């Protein structure tokens, strides 16, 4: 496996040459500052670019083309990454060794044409697909409450940090959607391709010089090269007392979400120590939360913790019965507290490290995971695989106790199922 | 151990059936760090009426017991929790139950042999006590309650219930709160002894392993254990009629846009001279041609604002019938139902389109072969369905042809359907 980074004028090309996969994967990322008023239009643009193109003016003709190209896939998402929003487009196709000669070039140009040859006439995107996408986005925004778990998480963040970027709605906002027209969407598109920080990743059994040539032919180079700043957000306000919010909904199972704020950490702490911490607290079947809340007390089916270093938050979620709320909450808080007191074994640290190492080794089996390591290295400066494998072993019990002291329970959100309450004695 | 090429996919499959009846399948993959093993029994929630091992009378066990059993096999006499054991090597492990199978798997890059031994041991050494059975009930009831808030899950479970009259697929895999509460330790042992005999099971390994070493380890492990003699298992057979149990049901849930589930029960017993294993695939190609994103039909429905998203479709196979489920969110339910119905009954197709779909099926096969987990699942589902594993799926897919496709399609009857509508709650 060989990684290389090229400066292609005002954007970066990253290539990972490997013969492990029968596929070639291409990722094109447009990075910009995350702004509330741009979330909706960015979501719109992702769907618009992937639904039709100049060569394939209807979604049907485009879908047929993907099948003709041996089931090439093209996907896109709007990723929220700390202070930034990344529109990420990804394509995966079979290496021509498994199809027919010339397919690599055809596949790559199909994908890049989606991004750079959009279905635009007279400065406007195509009307039919515009209307279909608008309806879809409207439904997405309006149906936020359909998934109680996701909704609870959103409400917890809104309560914890109402003005922070983490509480912005990933699906966007109706008032912004109403303002989007076929013209201003195209104007935003122009802005995206000209003013973003662009990183392109290509993974597979590839010829680098050929790839560079193809890209030069297809990509519109940004006007200037923008510098990337740190992605990570921090909170200034740690609450003295935690906030408990309860909301009722007509569902069966209650959703408990506990949001913790985490103090400023060193790069080593956030990449390694917190990883081990969260693993021991609520990472899997052997974790303190799973063993206490589920196995010993039968209070839930799922309970877990996850740490998000971009937002300095640790979030614990569990599906419970509303009547056991207080009991579950105090058990979880006891477990959080016990981390500070060092109430966990060396054996658990070893297991956390083993899981981390296993995860690192698995990375090489998957083009997506592999590209992600380099992507996160590029954007956030996280270590690469070799350093990760060495560094994780340096984590000590004392280090974990130190980060445990930096975790503060901030907001408790309970989405209370009403159906269950009726049966309560 | 037999060695066969896994055709066109640059892979080799090793297979052997042990003396106790256990089938072992191994696909080593070079250039890969991870490996995955699945221990699977051909026992799921469909096996609810059967003659227990050593008995002569048919019994009916409580609904949800296969899934309950899956949970309980994680309980070990010596107290070593499998999750905890696999964590030592940083491996993943889990289990799942569906109507046709229960499987236990782990995956990891380290200590694979030790892990494999443990997989065989924890599944083959049940330890059920009155206390540990009672304890599990609270956890499973929470799991069922979680599902009750998932509209798709509720939709598909109700759809099967309304579509089928007698086949056990009508009952949800997890059972109900009441049936779960009624399960006893004795029930669990009865099911275990009947369905977890090695001759009803397979071990499937894919990834970075040495097949010779694996088979030796598996044989040594099995040699140390006592198994009863291999006997055929008698499971009740059902004569599912063509007619549906209930043609229409409307319910309310906490959602925003109504969900329409259209379910068809299609008899496939009268299809002659076509490779039986390919019939479901032909039907899925048909659904894709008619309702998928390359169809004129979907394009029109979107333009007319009858649907917004792509139409979801899938099917289940109960031997005599295919159960086709079609789902979409829409405010225009009557139009959607009528239009889909017309489209399925209008059997016009084009050969060129069929050939394009065939190309995508062959491509998907190559995509699949790059992932040890998808490869593993592929072999597992083959074993569950056919009690053998096909090493020639690529060749078999190459035999897909338009004549047979038409033969299958012409015989399909879309007259038996059941509709389920989930409305937003009116508060």
Q: Which pLDDT tens digit goes with each residue over A323-359? A: 999 999 999 999 999 999 999 999 999 999 999 999 9
B residues 177-236 lying closer than 8 A (beta carbon) to A:
none
- Grade residue A236 by pLDDT with cuts at 50, 70 and 90: low
| CA A93/CA A74 separation, integer angstroms | 9
pTM, two decimal places: 0.94
Residues in chain B closer than 8 A to A351 (CB atoms): 84, 87-88, 90
**B108–A358: do the CB atoms touch at under 8 Å?**
yes
- The 10s digit of each residue's pLDDT in B355-400 is 999 999 999 999 999 999 999 999 999 999 999 999 999 999 999 9
CA dist., res. A409 & res. A239, Å (int): 8
Which 8-state DSSP code applies to residue A295?
Answer: I
Q: What percent of chain B has pLDDT over 70?
A: 100
- Determine the average pLDDT of the residues in A72-82: 95
Residue A424 in this model has a pLDDT that exceeds 80 = no
Count of all residues that appear for chain A in the document:
425
Residue with tokens 């009528």: B338
pLDDT tens string A7-29: 998 999 999 999 999 999 999 99
Sort out which chain B residues have CB atoms less than 8 A from A417's CB and list them: 145, 149
pLDDT given at position A36: 96
Q: What is the mean pLDDT of chain A?
A: 93
Instruction: Tell me what pLDDT residue B78 has.
Output: 86
What is d(CA B246, CA B163) in angstroms, rounded to the nearest whole number?
Answer: 6
- Angle, alpha carbons B75-B80-B83 (nearest 5°): 75
**How far apart (Å, rounded) are the C-alpha atoms in residues B395 and B403?**
17
| Domain B248-424, CATH number (from 3.40.50.620, 3.60.150.10, 3.30.830.10, 3.30.70.580) | 3.30.830.10
When pLDDT is cut at 50, 70 and 90, the band that residue A374 belongs to is very high
**Stretch (H or E) spanning A75:** strand A73-81
- Rounded to whole angstroms, how far apart are CA atoms B14 and B200? 19
Contacts with A, B 310-339, CB within 8 Å = 329
Pick among A58, A65, A95, A98 to test the B interface (most B CBs inside 10 A): A98
B136 chain-A contacts, CB cut-off 8 A: 298
Radius of gyration of chain B (CA): 23
The CATH number of the structural domain formed by A243-421 is: 3.30.830.10
A300: CB partners within 8 A, 6+ apart? A293, A294, A318, A319, A320, A328, B139, B142
At residue A255, the 3 state secondary structure works out as: strand
Three-state secondary structure call for residue B39 = strand
Q: Looking at residue B176, what is its pLDDT? A: 95
**What is the pLDDT at residue A224?**
86
- pLDDT tens figures, B176-196: 999 999 999 999 999 999 999
Q: Locate the chain B residue with the closest alpha carbon to A359.
A: B90
| 3-class DSSP assignment, residue A158 | helix
Q: Indicate the pLDDT class of residue A423, thresholds 50, 70 and 90.
A: very low
Q: CA torsion A339→A344→A347→A349, rounded to 10°?
A: 10
Q: Could you give the percent of chain A with pLDDT greater than 70? A: 97
Q: Please give the DSSP secondary-structure letter assigned to residue B276.
A: G
Enter the tokens of residue A58: 């209807």
- A307-321 average pLDDT score: 93
Please state which CATH class domain A2-218 belongs to. Answer: alpha beta
Res B99 pLDDT > 70: yes
> What does the alpha-carbon distance between residue A369 and residue A114 come to, in Å, rounded to a whole number?
24
Q: How many CB pairs under 8 A join A and B?
A: 165
Q: Answer yes or no: are the C-beta atoms of A242 and A336 closer than 8 Å.
A: no
Interatomic CA distance for residues B149 and A253, integer angstroms:
7
pLDDT band (50, 70, 90) for residue B8: confident
Let me know: does A291 contact B135? Beta carbons within 8 Å: no
Secondary structure (3-state) at A362: helix
Buried b (16+ CB within 10 A) or exposed e, A262-271: beebeeebbb
Closest CB to A354: pick one of B89, B308, B366: B89
Question: Which B residues in the span 241-300 are in contact with A, Cβ-Cβ below 8 Å?
Answer: 254-257, 292-296, 298-299
Tell whether B56 is within 8 A of chain A (Cβ).
no
**Fold agreement (A2-218, A243-421):** yes
* A19-69 pLDDT, tens digit each: 999 999 999 999 999 999 999 999 999 999 999 999 999 999 999 999 999
A335 vs A244, A269, A287, A324, A409, CA distance in Å? Answer: 18, 20, 10, 17, 12
Closest-CA residue of B relative to A21 is B370
Q: Which of A67, A132, A295 is closest, CB to CB, to B294?
A: A67
> Measured between beta carbons, which residues in chain A are less than 8 angstroms from residue B10?
22
Whether complex ipTM tops 0.90: yes
Enzyme catalytic residues of B: 70
Q: Where are the domains of chain B?
A: 2-223, 248-424
**pLDDT at residue A233, rounded to an integer:** 80
Residues sharing a CB contact under 8 Å with residue A397, sequence separation 6 or more, in sequence order: A342, A344, A346, A349
Q: Which of residues 340-359 of B touch A (CB under 8 A)?
A: 356-357, 359
Tokens for B142? 């929470």
Separation between Cα atoms, residue B285 and residue B279, nearest integer Å: 10
pLDDT at A293 (0 to 100): 93
B97 interfaces chain A, CB cutoff of 8 Å: no
Query: For chain A, what are the domain ranges?
Result: 2-218, 243-421
Span A227-238, average pLDDT: 76
CATH 3.30.830.10 is the classification of domain B2-223: yes
Q: Is the dihedral of CA A210, A211, A217, A221 positive or negative?
A: negative
Of all residues in chain A, the percent with pLDDT exceeding 90 is: 85
């Amino acid at each position: 496996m060989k990684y290389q980074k090229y400066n292609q004028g005002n954007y970066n090309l990253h290539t990972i040459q490997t013969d492990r996969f029968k596929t070639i994967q291409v990722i094109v990322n447009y990075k910009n500052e995350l702004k509330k008023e741009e979330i909706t239009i960015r979501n719109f643009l992702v769907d618009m670019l992937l639904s039709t193109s100049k060569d394939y003016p209807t979604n049907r003709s485009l879908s047929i083309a993907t099948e003709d190209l041996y089931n090439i896939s093209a996907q896109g998402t709007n990723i929220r990454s700390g202070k930034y929003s990344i529109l990420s487009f990804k394509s995966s196709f079979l290496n021509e060794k498994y199809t027919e000669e010339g397919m690599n070039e055809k596949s790559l140009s199909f994908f890049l044409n989606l991004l750079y040859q959009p279905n635009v006439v007279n400065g406007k995107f195509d009307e039919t697909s515009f209307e279909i996408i608008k309806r879809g986005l409207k439904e997405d925004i309006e149906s936020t409450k359909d998934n109680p778990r996701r909704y609870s998480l959103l409400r917890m963040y809104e309560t914890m940090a109402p003005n922070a970027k983490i509480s912005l709605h990933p699906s966007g906002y109706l008032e912004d959607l109403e303002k989007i027209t076929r013209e201003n969407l195209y104007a935003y598109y122009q802005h995206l391709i000209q003013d973003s920080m662009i990183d392109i990743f290509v993974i597979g059994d590839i010829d680098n010089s050929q790839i560079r040539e193809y890209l030069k032919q297809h990509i519109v180079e940004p006007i200037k090269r923008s510098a990337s700043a740190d992605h990570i957000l921090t909170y200034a306000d740690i609450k003295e007392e935690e906030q408990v919010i309860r909301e009722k909904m007509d569902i069966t199972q209650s959703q408990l979400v506990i949001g913790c704020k985490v103090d400023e950490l060193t790069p080593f702490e956030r990449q390694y120590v917190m990883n081990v911490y969260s693993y021991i607290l609520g990472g899997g079947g052997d974790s303190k939360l799973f063993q206490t809340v589920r196995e010993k007390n039968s209070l839930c089916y799922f309970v877990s913790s996850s740490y998000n270093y971009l937002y300095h938050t640790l979030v614990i979620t569990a599906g419970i019965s509303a009547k056991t709320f207080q009991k579950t909450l105090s058990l979880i808080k006891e477990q959080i507290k016990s981390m500070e007191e060092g109430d966990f074994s060396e054996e658990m640290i070893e297991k956390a490290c083993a899981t981390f190492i296993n995860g690192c080794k698995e990375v090489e089996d998957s083009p997506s995971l592999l590209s992600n390591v380099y992507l996160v290295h590029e954007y956030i400066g996280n270590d690469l695989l070799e350093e990760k494998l060495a560094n994780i072993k340096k984590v000590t019990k004392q280090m974990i106790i130190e980060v445990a002291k930096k975790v503060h329970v901030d907001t408790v959100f309970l989405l209370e199922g009403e159906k269950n309450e009726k049966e309560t004695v | 151990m037999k060695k066969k090429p896994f055709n066109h996919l640059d892979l080799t499959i090793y297979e052997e059936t042990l003396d106790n009846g256990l089938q072992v399948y191994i696909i080593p993959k070079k250039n890969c760090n991870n490996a995955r093993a699945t221990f699977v029994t051909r026992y799921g929630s469909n096996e609810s009426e059967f003659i227990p091992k050593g008995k002569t009378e048919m019994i009916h066990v409580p609904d949800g017991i296969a899934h309950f059993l899956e949970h309980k096999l994680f309980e070990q006499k010596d107290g070593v929790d499998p999750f905890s054991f696999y964590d030592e090597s940083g491996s993943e492990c889990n289990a799942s139950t569906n109507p046709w199978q229960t499987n236990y798997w782990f995956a990891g890059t380290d200590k694979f042999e030790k892990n494999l031994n443990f997989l065989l041991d924890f599944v083959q050494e049940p330890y059920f006590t009155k206390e540990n059975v009672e304890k599990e009930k609270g956890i499973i009831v929470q799991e069922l309650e979680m599902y009750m808030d998932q509209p798709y899950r509720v939709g598909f479970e109700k759809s099967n219930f309304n579509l089928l009259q007698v086949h056990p697929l009508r009952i949800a895999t997890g059972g109900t709160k009441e049936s779960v509460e009624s399960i006893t330790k004795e029930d669990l042992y009865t099911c275990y002894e009947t369905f977890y005999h090695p001759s009803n099971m397979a071990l499937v390994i894919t990834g970075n392993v040495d097949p010779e070493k694996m088979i030796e380890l598996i044989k040594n492990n099995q040699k140390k254990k006592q198994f009863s003699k291999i006997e055929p298992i008698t499971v009740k057979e059902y004569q599912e009629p063509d007619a549906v149990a209930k043609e229409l049901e409307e319910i309310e849930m906490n959602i925003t846009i109504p969900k329409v589930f259209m379910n068809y029960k299609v008899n496939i017993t009268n299809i002659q001279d076509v490779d039986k294993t390919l019939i479901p695939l032909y039907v899925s190609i048909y659904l894709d041609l008619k309702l998928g994103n390359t169809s004129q039909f979907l394009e029109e429905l979107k333009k007319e604002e009858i649907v917004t998203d792509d139409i979801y479709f899938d099917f289940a196979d109960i031997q005599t019938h295919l159960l086709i489920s079609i789902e979409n969110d829409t405010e225009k339910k009557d139009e959607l139902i009528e239009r889909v119905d017309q489209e399925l009954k209008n059997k016009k197709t084009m050969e060129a389109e069929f050939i394009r779909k065939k190309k995508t099926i062959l491509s998907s096969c190559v995509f699949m072969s790059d992932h040890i987990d998808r490869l593993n699942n592929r072999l597992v589902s083959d074993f569950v369905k056919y009690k053998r594993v096909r090493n020639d799926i690529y060749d078999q897919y190459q035999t897909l042809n338009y004549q047979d496709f038409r033969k299958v399609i012409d015989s399909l009857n879309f007259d038996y359907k059941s509709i389920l509508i989930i409305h937003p709650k009116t508060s």
